[in-house]
Amino acid sequence: MGAKVYIKYFLSLQKTFNAVPQYWKKFETCGELELYKLNEKEKYLVMRLKNYDIHPIMCPYLGGYFLGLAQNIIRSDKITIEETACIYKGGAYHEYTIRWQ
């Protein structure tokens, strides 16, 4: 619980989400995660996952994973996620857009 409180209230969104790709590399053996865009004024961020083509069933799983991460970091009760690009639907990478109010 202490780490969640520290992340949520003492680190900036920019610093926290910039660190996410390094943690991805620590726990995953494939793929490259990047924070593509963060717009705190319009309340959204875009994450891209490249070179990750294990199985299409992972797409919603990853969406839930990233949503859970955002819920622990962003100070909002209403957070949504949408997969806005997918390699299984012709995209060059997986892209997830997270929005909050």
For 22-62, the pLDDT digits (tens) are 888 888 889 999 999 999 999 999 999 999 988 999 999 99
Would you mind telling me the total number of residues written for the chain in this entry? 101
Contacts of 77 (CB under 8 A, 6+ apart): none
Distance CA 8, CA 88 (A): 33
Q: CA distances (Å), 34 to each of 10, 48, 81, 101, in order? A: 22, 5, 16, 23
Sequence-distant (≥ 6) Cβ neighbours of residue 89 within 8 angstroms: none
Asked if the model's pLDDT at residue 79 lies above 80, the reply is yes
pLDDT value of position 21: 84
Average pLDDT, the chain: 88
Domain coordinates in residue numbering, the chain: 2-80
Q: With 0-12 CB in 10 A as exposed, 13-18 as middle and 19+ as buried, what is 96? A: buried
